[in-house]
Amino acid sequence: MRDPLNPKEEKEMTPQARTLNAPVITVVDPDERTCIDAAGTRLFYAIHRETVADAHAELKRRPVSAVLVSVARCGHEAERRVASVVRKFPMVPTVALLGTTLPTPEA
């Protein structure tokens, strides 16, 4: 299996393949990660982070195709951080995943 973080392999990829394997940062519950990984097979690889703050830091380190945030992870502080991500990285689509789980006090 291709290592998406290996820059040597990245140089050998065609532009189309690079687009199909673009990284997507996620801030989702562990049970949601499996579904995202399955949905992204051969389309993108997920960089899972625990908090929106972690995702924000990751955006500063590398270009990504999108950010997926579970509403289960969005408390009051996370909402402000998501707004900050949208403002500071307007070219990166940021999507909130709707689910049946209510936000936790720790989010």
Give the CATH number of the domain where residue 64 resides: 3.40.50.2300
Write the CB contacts of 94 (distance below 8 Å, at least 6 apart in sequence). Answer: 66, 67, 69, 82, 85, 86
Question: pTM value?
Answer: 0.64
Looking at residue 13, its pLDDT comes to 45
- Helix 76-88 to helix 52-61 angle, to the nearest 10 degrees? 20
Q: What is the pLDDT along the chain (107 residues), one digit of tens a residue?
A: 455 555 544 444 454 444 556 789 999 888 889 888 888 888 888 999 998 889 989 989 988 899 988 877 776 666 777 777 888 887 887 877 655 555 555 54
Does residue 5 fall inside a structural domain?
A: no
Give the DSSP letter of residue 51.
Answer: S
State the total domains in the chain.
1
Judging by beta carbons within 10 Å of its beta carbon (0-12, 13-18, 19+), is residue 66 exposed, middle or buried?
Answer: middle
Looking at residue 78, its pLDDT comes to 67
Count other Cβ atoms within 10 Å, centred on residue 20: 14
Count of CA atoms in the C-beta half-sphere (13 A) of 31: 4
Q: Tell me the residue range of the domain where 42 lies.
A: 14-97
